[in-house]
Structure 1
């Protein structure tokens, strides 16, 4: 099909040509993470899908005049596996001579290394040893303390072969490398009192340290504790105590202000707001009371939603659904937002005197490094600059919608109708739509440009991202809707959005699909096997999913989420029948719609044995299906060739199921 911009062709939905192919989606997959300041420089990690999915460590010099540079060549991969989702993998500090000193974790062996980037003649040197026990030794959320010659961080240490045979605690590691061959030289700053901890943050005088802790079965968005310690001159922790938080209060960040006061992002009001804490009497003052979020789900250790400035002001990421970067005056409560087109700010902020850098994206731009000068009010892009790989007229135009679900409850969603600058559908035809269920499940779908969504919408297939009950970003009450209701509320909310789109004439009722990865894969599979949603969807794409709740609860996942189901489904000992009734693996006979299942063979979070169990139960029943398992991939796909094949296979499923005519993807063979 050849058209010019001056004419508009007509073609059935799903058959439209598009310049956005699977290789382009793969090349733009992932985003910058773990941004921080090293003196007046800004550093972050960046994905390299074309290099096997490694993470590069980027450096932007203080004058911002030259593009950021990668500081470590392949195969260095700046990433760790603490709680499997990882945590802050690097830290840096300026030095009087010789340039900065930087420490980082290398994914290949999970060791902590140090290097001097301005001394190319010196290779990174290991700081920590290797352990052959279970998953070994892992390190994250480091803080350099060069005056003591150490780096403090979180240690995750396996004590056996099982995924839950481990301990976590704050430790101190010598910078001279002496502990690289001697585990005993790693100083444990506290006992392993709590199952999970974040890295300590030190007051400006170095005499106090604060961190977060929580224990099973709580997740960090349920309840956390704020731990405080006095710090001796040689770096030891004394008088360790809990000063805030609790089983029903989620504190997701604790930080020291320039004046020495302690700041927390806590949801004690039902919303994550920034508070000032007096640790001596426990008094908390809400610095900006609002029914919106100044925090989020702590999925990776070291995430930062606020950052104090030397002036006493506080940079904050905040919003309801979408997020903004603002500057908060803690004395008056006044909050002034920066300007710009960005609709999502990641929980990663860096302060360089009066400037605040962050990671932000918009509906027409992918994630970039953006800096706000609080002195001038100017905001600009300084790194990972978005460049349109195709004409932006092919990008979808999102609609922010609130649908009505069962019982009249609100359901938040982003709807992306099919969109093409040169093609429209024949009169009277309704488009196919795919409901996207996000992972987590206590997470959310951000309002940003996603080329994978554009891949489908530019071909004439609509997408609806559903922030179902349980999603973060809308307060604790909305988040708590999913408590003991996983597999019910998420399934019902996704179906309600799909059916509403059909009822209002925006979508073809006969061509609805659902897809998701991880917890979204669970929702997709549960939607095919739940009697409540029988017949809603014509097909489903299920990515690296949870499929058997009993198996997952009894040792088939990692430690971080090993008791997550206690709140999502119920106490296993008391509600085992509920686990069995909701699990797709136990109801394969109900699956009649075609589905595509994809997983990584190295996934330890949602192991492929769950897929094997589900497929074994499906075989012999009516559901036509395909299964693609990827060597060398874990939880979520990172390699360019994997991502390309996955997105093309998903489109091929819709081609076959919806009766679309295309020749730009290999056909998908389904079996029964």
Structure 2
């Protein structure tokens, strides 16, 4: 029999008081991204929620305890909008900073560590104003930047994407064009070869990509005339080509069903059809879906060692891999005293120093450093906004779903050091991640702890179609979006009820973007949930096909079917055509600057629900796009969501 802790107050689930307020959630965990090591300095991108969510470039010496400094004065923001999601928006070469300015999407150049006032100059001023840039890298022989250029000239039927060289005199020359998308340019150590990825509609980069290799021409540049495809069979997703100091070309492929590491020997690169050599065969994924540029899951720690992170069923690990040809040795890397379970953005300087972004259920994301394979140590020493006794630690779960398949998730129990409830079943929030090609993991998430600390349970679901479970699981959602994801979140809720964790009369579903579509579909086509929250979700699939941006313009070809040939399926699975089936209250959030899921989606859904006389609350943010970054708006959103649950469930 459970013995009550007499030091705790008794309050019903959902009514517990918490020290984690909405502003703390909005500001406690700034987003870190794209670390790099240059001449003993560590650089990275960092969001500033209190400054309207702008992204600045931070730096500090690798050695010592010097406090980090910002390179960009407010209100400047380093933010690429290529593919709308951006990435690869800055590069430091010697003492020169190149960055993409969020306001105009042009590349700027600035001298660092001088006494002069920071005064960036536009490098691409002679190029088209309609161009956007991303994925910056350096070509010393051309004395210029290699970048992905996306031109939004209004005369084009859709934005045109090229791989280009941006010379320091401001001129821009084309390296490759003709494919719908380009990414990941990688220069060989001798400078004579350039590798890159490209792909075409209707594929997304996690469906099928091609790896190309170009040889420098007699004029000192690169072009398609001296390039050939060396990998990519039309049913293979390739990720992150990277040259080793020996000239071998490493990359990630999912040919084995799992995104694993491979390489082409330098000699193999001379033949027409090189044979890939597996580095490590493991039922784990050394890649993530390329929603943004500059994703990095591996790097060379030194000439004989590779450092890499991989995911299996939502759990991440970091390894050092001895590249000895006779016997590849793998050793786990982690912190000396805390067990980190989430890793990303792995980089190294090839001289024994490695950096990554890591977190755990109890530790917020931080920059971590390893020196010569030593245990990781934190650079910034960020602290979670809750005590250890207040943090809900996730439990990995699997459960049976439709067709007898297995789906996965993380269950967070209500947790508060000062409260407990007499009841055993809590209100449950089932979270649907975005994408839908994406995944959730166990990194500390204040937006989950905000609820568990108030007496809610949370089930964070990796439905079929999620990454981290192999290509077959990832592609299970092909032609099944709106069916399998809905079945899986309903199965997750029913599993929690069967375990005795959740109150069947207080089941909530919540999701953003593609997860918002799953919310609306679940409320429309099932009666499992008693309340729903959609953040910039999709109600009308046909409208999305017509209105969304180039990167995702053909995404639904695989998730739903070809349009307009299979228009009837689009209509059948669009919640907006079945709003009369919604039997519970709905809360909708939308950014009015959203170019991925335009505001007309939310407005049309809200109008349709209201026309049926059903309960719906609608909150918009004038200055937000796809994802909310302004601290004030995030705080407003959480206040509104809490008030919504209190009203619906009389908490």
TM-score, length basis structure 2: 0.95
Distance in 2 separating the partners of 1:72 and 1:12: 47
> 1:342 matched to which residue of 2?
340
Structure 1 residue 622 displacement after superposition: 4.2
> 1:378 matched to which residue of 2?
375
Structure 1 residue 147 displacement after superposition: 4.6
What aligned pairs does 1:363-374 form with structure 2 within 5 A after superposition? 363-374=361-372
Distance in 2 separating the partners of 1:337 and 1:304: 18
Structure 1 residue 657 displacement after superposition: 1.2
> 2:416 matched to which residue of 1?
420
> 1:182 matched to which residue of 2?
none
> 1:289 matched to which residue of 2?
281
The structure-2 alpha-carbon separation of the partners of 1:569 and 1:585, relative to structure 1 and needing over 3 Å to count, comes to same
* Segment drifting more, 20-29 vs 517-526: 20-29
Question: SS at the partner of 1:560?
Answer: helix
Selected match of 2:316 from 317, 323, 334: 323
Which digits, 9 at most, give the CA deviation of each residue in 1:327-356, with x for residues without a partner?
112322321110222111114423351011
The structure-2 alpha-carbon separation of the partners of 1:46 and 1:10, relative to structure 1 and needing over 3 Å to count, comes to same
Distance in 2 separating the partners of 1:273 and 1:244: 14
Question: SS at the partner of 2:544?
Answer: helix
Is the counterpart of residue 79 in structure 1 residue 79 in structure 2? Answer: yes
Selected match of 1:141 from 124, 135, 146: 135
Selected match of 2:603 from 609, 612, 627: 612
Is the counterpart of residue 196 in structure 1 residue 189 in structure 2? Answer: no
Is the counterpart of residue 624 in structure 1 residue 615 in structure 2? Answer: yes
Which digits, 9 at most, give the CA deviation of each residue in 1:296-342, with x for residues without a partner?
11111221111123323211111302112111123223211102221
Is the counterpart of residue 518 in structure 1 residue 504 in structure 2? Answer: no
Question: SS at the partner of 2:293?
Answer: coil
Selected match of 2:545 from 546, 553, 560: 553
Distance in 2 separating the partners of 1:510 and 1:261: 59
Across the aligned residues of Structure 1 and Structure 2, the Cα RMSD in angstroms comes to 1.6
2:346–2:354 contact (8 Å) kept in structure 1: no
The structure-2 alpha-carbon separation of the partners of 1:131 and 1:520, relative to structure 1 and needing over 3 Å to count, comes to farther
> 2:41 matched to which residue of 1?
41
Distance in 2 separating the partners of 1:518 and 1:299: 13
1:140–1:199 contact (8 Å) kept in structure 2: no
* Segment drifting more, 205-214 vs 417-426: 417-426
Question: SS at the partner of 2:632?
Answer: helix
> 2:172 matched to which residue of 1?
186
Aligned residues: 633
> 1:409 matched to which residue of 2?
405
Is the counterpart of residue 652 in structure 1 residue 638 in structure 2? Answer: no
Selected match of 1:642 from 610, 633, 644: 633
> 2:148 matched to which residue of 1?
154
The structure-2 alpha-carbon separation of the partners of 1:439 and 1:161, relative to structure 1 and needing over 3 Å to count, comes to farther
The structure-2 alpha-carbon separation of the partners of 1:626 and 1:474, relative to structure 1 and needing over 3 Å to count, comes to same
1:251–1:264 contact (8 Å) kept in structure 2: yes
In structure 1, stretches of 5+ residues that fail to align are 95-99, 180-184, 661-672
Question: SS at the partner of 1:366?
Answer: coil
Is the counterpart of residue 355 in structure 1 residue 353 in structure 2? Answer: yes
TM-score, length basis structure 1: 0.92
Distance in 1 separating the partners of 2:559 and 2:580: 25
Selected match of 2:488 from 484, 488, 493: 493
> 1:670 matched to which residue of 2?
none
> 2:220 matched to which residue of 1?
234
What aligned pairs does 1:446-485 form with structure 2 within 5 A after superposition? 446-485=441-480
> 1:400 matched to which residue of 2?
396
Question: SS at the partner of 2:386?
Answer: coil
Structure 1 residue 625 displacement after superposition: 0.8
Structure 1 residue 148 displacement after superposition: 3.1
Distance in 1 separating the partners of 2:180 and 2:447: 37
1:142–1:199 contact (8 Å) kept in structure 2: no
Which digits, 9 at most, give the CA deviation of each residue in 1:83-116, with x for residues without a partner?
001121011122xxxxx21211010111101111
Distance in 1 separating the partners of 2:30 and 2:556: 28
Structure 1 residue 124 displacement after superposition: 1.0
Distance in 2 separating the partners of 1:557 and 1:216: 14
Selected match of 2:191 from 182, 206, 214: 206
The structure-2 alpha-carbon separation of the partners of 1:161 and 1:67, relative to structure 1 and needing over 3 Å to count, comes to farther
The structure-2 alpha-carbon separation of the partners of 1:119 and 1:275, relative to structure 1 and needing over 3 Å to count, comes to same
Distance in 1 separating the partners of 2:221 and 2:67: 38
In structure 2, stretches of 5+ residues that fail to align are none
Structure 1 residue 429 displacement after superposition: 4.5
Structure 1 residue 249 displacement after superposition: 0.1
> 2:294 matched to which residue of 1?
302
Selected match of 1:597 from 567, 572, 588: 588
Question: SS at the partner of 2:551?
Answer: coil
Selected match of 1:575 from 566, 571, 575: 566
> 2:160 matched to which residue of 1?
167
Distance in 2 separating the partners of 1:524 and 1:298: 24
2:303–2:350 contact (8 Å) kept in structure 1: no
Structure 1 residue 570 displacement after superposition: 0.9
Distance in 1 separating the partners of 2:62 and 2:557: 48
Structure 1 residue 131 displacement after superposition: 7.2
Question: SS at the partner of 1:508?
Answer: strand
Structure 1 residue 165 displacement after superposition: 1.7
Structure 1 residue 511 displacement after superposition: 0.4
> 2:20 matched to which residue of 1?
20
1:258–1:312 contact (8 Å) kept in structure 2: no
Distance in 1 separating the partners of 2:167 and 2:291: 28
Structure 1 residue 143 displacement after superposition: 1.1
Distance in 1 separating the partners of 2:560 and 2:10: 48
Question: SS at the partner of 2:230?
Answer: strand
1:516–1:524 contact (8 Å) kept in structure 2: yes
Which digits, 9 at most, give the CA deviation of each residue in 1:565-602, with x for residues without a partner?
00000111331100000001111111121010000000
1:250–1:266 contact (8 Å) kept in structure 2: yes
Structure 1 residue 389 displacement after superposition: 2.6
Structure 1 residue 635 displacement after superposition: 0.3
2:424–2:501 contact (8 Å) kept in structure 1: no
Question: SS at the partner of 2:166?
Answer: strand
Distance in 2 separating the partners of 1:425 and 1:259: 62
Distance in 2 separating the partners of 1:647 and 1:339: 34
Which digits, 9 at most, give the CA deviation of each residue in 1:409-430, with x for residues without a partner?
111100001111121101x442
Distance in 2 separating the partners of 1:363 and 1:147: 46
1:153–1:200 contact (8 Å) kept in structure 2: yes
Distance in 2 separating the partners of 1:6 and 1:43: 49
1:417–1:463 contact (8 Å) kept in structure 2: yes
1:294–1:305 contact (8 Å) kept in structure 2: yes
Distance in 1 separating the partners of 2:458 and 2:250: 40
